[in-house]
Each structure stands twice: as structure tokens, then as C-alpha cells.
Structure 1
Amino acid sequence: MNYRHAFHAGNFADLVKHAALLNLLARMPRPLSVIDTHAGRGLYDLSGEEAQRSGEAQAGIGQLMQAGDLPAELLALRAAVTRLNGGGPARLYPGSPLLIAGALGKGDSYVACELRPEEHSALTQALTPWRNAQAICADGYAEAASRLDREGEALVLIDPPFEKSDDYRRCVEALKAITRRSPRAVVMIWLPLKDLETFDSFVRDAEDAGVGPLLIAEARMRPLRDPMKMNGCALVLARAPDGMAQTLQSICDWTVGALGQGGAARIWTAA
């Protein structure tokens, strides 16, 4: 794959995903098993060439760190970035692995899947301080359901780069397998928003999987007119805990209002 998240770390989509993830982790019962299907390298240098070239971090986490009107639902993310940088400027940004590992309790466990060897090597190093966090070089789609305890509490994050034509299909297949294996597993899927046809098709397929009501959050940063651009992002949650709809509304409202260009936030439920 050609995708490198270093160009996009700390952008608006990361803010939505990571703020939601931290709030979700805080709501989950313990002990908890967490599986991340596409973990990436875990830690990103915002002063590096990739981030500086794209400018997405400055337009995303750079704005969040300076915001004076930040809602409570985004404060945990700002605090995590502040801790990582020792209270100084945000030169480093934590990917989902560091955010998850930092939220683990004594009895919790975390498996971070990353298929690309170079990224897996960096991920392994990033997770070294946490004994209950493990990085594996494997296909996260295939690993997610098989590693779940059928009776335990679990959270699965599915966050592929959507470079491959079958990513949407494999997300639905993984969702179905996870929810069938684990009756209490909560699943959060991140998706790009380019055009409504692709997104609506995914939601229909997810509904057909028969996993129950899906909580859906859309952060449309601009009108969905150009399918060649990432015009926003969406989160699809299965078995979302109580209160997540209001949390997602607050996160998406702020992100779209502060960083968007004529977009809109939408939170809704699919049967």
C-alpha cells in the first residue's frame, strides 16, 4: 500500500476519531479487551517532512490545541497531546495505539494489528512502555474476531486506509464476525466521506449484516460535491454505550463548526 498516515496525522478526521475513541474507552466496562485492526505506527512527528508538507496537522490538532471554546468531549484528547509533548508545543501526535494503551487499566489488554513491516516495527517500539499492549504484524480483519473472548467485554476499532477496493466489504464482514463471536463486543468503524452513494451503500450492507442498531456520526467538513476529495469522515458504532450519541454530536459539531467550510454534522441511527 502507498498510504502513509504521517501526511494526515492530527487532521480533522483524527480529531473526530480519537476524541470519540477516548470517550468510548472511558464508558466501557472493565476488564476490557481492545483490538485495533489497522494500528499504524502509533506515534507521529508533526515537525517531520510529511506533516509539514500536507499542513493537515496545523489545520487540525494545531487549531484544537489553541481553541478557547473547546467542549468537554474534546478535552481528553487535548490533555493526551499535552502530556505527550510535556506541556510544550504539539510536535508529536499520538495515534490510536498510544491513546488506547494510555487508557488501559490493570486487567485490560490491547492487541494492535499492523501489516506493514516498517510501521509494525515503529508500533512495537511505541508500545514498549505498556506490558498489557501487544503489536502484531498481521491482517487485522482476519485477527479481530478470532482473538476475542466470547464472554468478555471488548472494543474493536476498525480503521483501514481505504486504499483497497475491498476495504468496505471487509469492514462489514469483520463487523458481522465480531458481533457473532462476542455478544458484548462494541465495534467502531471509521470511514472517509467522499460521496453519499459510497457511504450509503456501506451503511446498507452493514444493516444487512444483522448486528442490530448502528449509531452513525457524520462530520461533513464541506458539501459532498467532489468525490475525489475527502469531504469529511464518519463513525459507525455497533452496540454503542448509552450517551455516545450526545458525545458524538458535540465532537462533530465543534469539528465542523471550527474547522469546516460550509459543512454539517449529523448523528443518526440505522436499524
Structure 2
Amino acid sequence: MNYRHAFHAGNFADLVKHAALLQLLARLNREPGPLSVIDTHAGRGLYDLAGPEALKSGEAEAGIVRLMAAPDAPAEFAPLIAAMRKLNGAGPPRRYPGSPWLIAEALRPGESYLACELRPDEHAALHDRMKGKRGVRALLADGYEAAVAQTPASGRALILIDPPFERSDDYVRIVETLAAVRRRNRQAMALVWLPLKDLETFDGFLRDLEDAEPGPLLVAETRMRPLTDPLKMNGCALVLLDGPADMARVLGAICGWTAETLGQSGGARTYRL
């Protein structure tokens, strides 16, 4: 695989994904009982926005930098903005937190987080970043397989699935993983991130997921531009399996602001399946 998230850290898709993740974790932390979190494609955990990859792509400038300077960002972005200020102080955005950093910071005593990464170099950086953090393990492994094997058979669990979509079978494996996880533990929830390139690919994935019947689904689409070029990432989508009821409103606010403020003739919609 050639994907390197360092080129894309802090882009519009990260804003959607991580703002939603923090809002979801905040709600789950209000509920009784420990939570187990499994991250199937964790990455390295922390990214240098002043590094050559980020500077070359310019995606952070069009994403997190604009969010941090925005006077009208909705309250649903407040936890992500707070995380950025914790990392960067009052200065300009220099570092961006990936999901491992955000999840590890949100864990309560007695909870666990398994961060899976298949690339040896990314895993080595992730392992160093997570070293010493309570309840956290970094695993060099196929995240889909680990999610099925490591999801506890009972109790609350959250599976985060965010692959680079370089493999042709990622859509199929997501469906298979969610179905297997739910057979193992009916309390398990999931948050899945996907690119929006063309509607047929995305709609086909949703049809396959509905046919697998893992449970109630909430879909949130962020369209940054019209879906006219299937070779471009024209937006992104989140699919939430069995999450809190008010996440529809939360995702609507996050996706709506991102599409309208950072996009070009974009739009957003949130719906249940």
C-alpha cells in the first residue's frame, strides 16, 4: 500500500471524522459500564502539519487551519478545537491528533483501546506514541481480523473503521467485519468512515450493509463538490451503527458546516436506514 495519511492529516475528512468521534465518545462516557474501543486502521497517532507531506498537499490549510480561525464554527466542533489547543497552545496549528491520540485521551479508568496498524513503520511510530498510556495497546495486525477476534463477547464496545481504501475489497470487508462483530456482541457499536467518489459505489455498499442486517444505521454525507468525477474524493461519509439517538443532529451540524464553509457548491444530508 502507498497511502500515507501525513499528506492528508487535518483535511476536511479528518474534521468530519474526528469531530464526530469526539462527540460520540463524550456521549458514551456518560453511560455506565466500561467501554472497549478497537481502531482497525489507526495510523501513527499524531501528525506534523509543518512536515513536508502536509505542506506539499496543502490539505490541512484548507481544513483544520480554516476551522481554527473560523468565528462561526458550530459547538459540535468544540472538543476537536480544544484538542488542537491542548496540542498546540495558542500558536498556529503545528500538530494534528489522529484517532489514537483522541481516543487515548478520552478513556476512563478501566476502559481499553486497541489500535491496529498494518504498516510496520506506522505501527512503530504508533507504538512509541501510545507507550505508557493506560489501557492502550498498539497491535501490528490486520484490523478487520483483529476487530472480530478482539471484540469482547459482552459489554459495551465501539469499533472505528477508517481504511485508506487502496484495496478493492475494503467495502466487502467492512460489511463482513460489522456482521461478524455484531454476531459476537450485540452491544457493539461502530463508526465507519468512507470516501464519496461516486454514488453507485457508495449506494452499493449501503445496500450490502443493509442486507447483512448488523443493526440500525445512521448515515451522514458531506459532499464538498458535485459527484461528477469518480476519480476524485468529492466528499466523505460516516456510517454509525447503533449509536446514541441524538447523533443525527450532531452529524448534521458537523457535515453541514464542513460542506457549506469548506466545500464548493457542496451539501450534506443525514438519514437513517
Interval containing the TM-score (normalised by the shorter chain): over 0.9
CA distance in 1, matches of 2:218, 2:247: 8
Q: Deviations over 1:84-141 (max 9, x none)?
A: 1133211000000000001000111000000100000000111124121110000000
1:90, 1:31 → 2: CA distance? 33
1:127 and 2:168 aligned: no
* Partner residue, 1:27: 27
Which string of whole-angstrom CA distances, capped at 9 and with x for unpartnered residues, describes residues 34-81 of structure 1? Answer: 000000011100000000000000100000000111111101001001
2:197 is matched with which residue?
194
What SS class does the counterpart of residue 61 from structure 2 fall into?
helix
- 1:95 aligns to 2:86 (yes or no): no
Q: Deviations over 1:198-229 (max 9, x none)?
A: 00000000001111221000000000000010
One-letter code of the match for 2:10? G
Partners of 1:128 and 1:61 lie apart in 2 by 27
Which residue of 2 is the match for residue 253 of structure 1?
Answer: 256
Shift of 1:146: 1.4
Pair 1:148-2:148 in alignment: no
Find the counterpart in structure 1 of residue 82 from structure 2.
Answer: 79
- CA distance, structure 1, for counterparts of residue 117 and residue 159 of structure 2: 14
Alignment of 1:105-120 (within 5 A): 105-120=108-123
1:1-271 equivalent positions in 2, closer than 5 A:
1-28=1-28, 29=31, 30-270=33-273
Task: Give CA-to-partner distance per residue, 1:150-206, whole Å, 9 cap, x none.
Answer: 111110000000000000100100110111111111111100000000000000000
RMSD: 0.8
Unpaired segments ≥5 residues, structure 2: none
| Segment of structure 1 superposing worse, 216-225 or 141-150 | 141-150
State the secondary structure of the residue aligned to 2:244: coil
Q: How many matched pairs?
A: 270
Amino acid at match of 1:107: G
- Aligned partner of 1:109: which letter? S
TM-score, normalized by length of structure 2?
0.97
Q: Which amino acid aligns with 1:169?
A: V
| Whole-Å separation in 1 of the counterparts to 2:257 and 2:233 | 18
Aligned equivalents of 1:115, 1:87: Cα separation in 2: 35
Runs of at least 4 residues off by over 3 Å: none
User: Which residue identity lines up with residue 4 of structure 2 in the other structure?
Assistant: R
SS at match of 1:58: coil
SS in 1 for 2:26: helix
Q: TM-score, normalised by structure 1?
A: 0.98
User: For 1:178 and 1:259, how far apart are their aligned partners in 2?
Assistant: 35
Write the letter of the residue equivalent to 1:108: E
Moved more, 204-213 or 17-26: 204-213
